[in-house]
Amino acid sequence: MAKGRLWEWAGLLRRPMSRFWGISVIASLAAGGSVVLPSFSALGQASGAPQENAVASSEAQNPWTFRFTPYAWLTWMSGSQTVRGRSVDIDTNTFQLLGSSDTLVPFMGYFQARFEDRIELFADVMYAGITSGVSASRNFQVNPFVGGRVSAAASIYYQQLTIEFGGAYQVAKVGRDRGAEGAGMSGVGQTAFDVLLGGRYWHQKADLTLNVAGTLGVNVGDLQLSFDRSQAFARSGVINWVDPFVGFRVRHTLAPRQHLQAQADIGGFGLGSRISWQALATYGYEFGSTGNVAWAGIIGYRALYVDYVQGSGNTLFQTNLLQHGPLIGVSAKF
């Protein structure tokens, strides 16, 4: 009898697992218990939730952030400019250029890419093209019989392109993280310190044209003579160079959506210009967002100096120029 029961249990073990689970369910119900079976919707949610969380987590953990800032720099300029041995002193500003120039075409924009808020790549483009002209004429009388007229017209086209490029690395950050205090408090009160390494590409072009025309008349009795003469003079120069530079930057989160930044660099070292330096301080306020883009207003003050010399005599090209003034822009971070 015991042997027969043994063969029955062995046969049960050889049956399909589905029948075994059916027997277990029936036994549970017979004992007054309950069985909870997972629904297909629950299985679908269980299988889909990790994927959705993984996507959200990957988006939240994207280590890269990008920022583009078009801006206007209202500059005061002082110094001197030499083109082919001819020098002129410069003492002007943006408002005077707007009033006296025939055309003034500026473009300025800053692009930044940061990785994990520690490593940054940046490019800053500054371009200005200025066309200006002036003319004058004068009548003269040598004596009652001889007189004439002299007129002159001068025009200048000046073009400057500066492209700043390089990288930054965060070497330290001080202050406790206040992110636990609420939304938007992450980083508030913290100060970060970056070192900068890069270069500035300079392109300058100046064209000067002078037209002189003269008329001389002689009137003696029945004798009338007239002489006309015109002559044009042109000087132009184009120069390009690159200045390496090193610098330092301080970034501070003043309050939620409010940021301060100050930086300074020095370059040239005789490899491009004799010396060049820059100082910049800005305040930024994030005023809104559109989708994944955060918008901020930027105001600040910037100073940029360069001393460059090439050639001698009639081939001398020299720039000794300080540009400084306030700047204003709109930044898009994504």
Determine the Cα–Cα distance for residues 300 and 293; give it in Å rounded to an integer: 22
Whether the predicted pLDDT of 201 surpasses 60: yes
Amino acid, res. 134: V
Which of 88, 68, 66, 67 has the alpha carbon at shortest distance from 79? 88
- Among 129, 130, 110, which residue's Cα sits nearest to residue 120? 110
Give the integer Cα–Cα distance in Å for 277 and 263: 11
Q: Can you say whether residue 17 is alpha, beta or left, with left for phi > 0 and alpha for psi between -120 and 50 degrees?
A: alpha
Categorize the per-residue pLDDT at 282 as very low, low, confident or very high, splitting at 50, 70 and 90: very high
Structural tokens at position 176? 């406790």
Q: In this structure, are residues 82 and 317 in contact, taking their beta carbons and an 8 Å threshold?
A: yes
Please list, residue by residue across 218-256, b when 16 or more beta carbons sit within 10 angstroms of its beta carbon and e when fewer do: eeeeeeeeeeeeeeeeeeebebebebebebebebbbeee
- Tokens 């610098």 locate to 247
User: How many CB atoms are closer than 10 A to CB 205?
Assistant: 16
In the predicted model, what is the mean pLDDT of residues 219-237?
Answer: 72
* The residue type at 61: Q
Asked if the model's pLDDT at residue 122 lies above 70, the reply is yes
Q: What is the pLDDT of residue 226?
A: 77
One DSSP character per residue, 79-145 reads EEEEETTEEEEEEEEHHHHHHH-SEEEEEEEEEEEEETTTEEEEEEEEEEEEEEEEEEEEEEEEETT
**Distance (Å, rounded) from C-alpha 100 to C-alpha 85?**
25
Confidence of residue 229 (pLDDT cuts 50, 70, 90): confident
Per-residue pLDDT reduced to its tens digit, 145-199? 777 888 777 677 778 899 999 999 999 999 988 877 877 788 888 999 999 999 9
DSSP-assigned beta bridge partners for residue 21: none
- The pLDDT tens digits of the residues spanning 66-81 come to 999 999 999 998 998 7
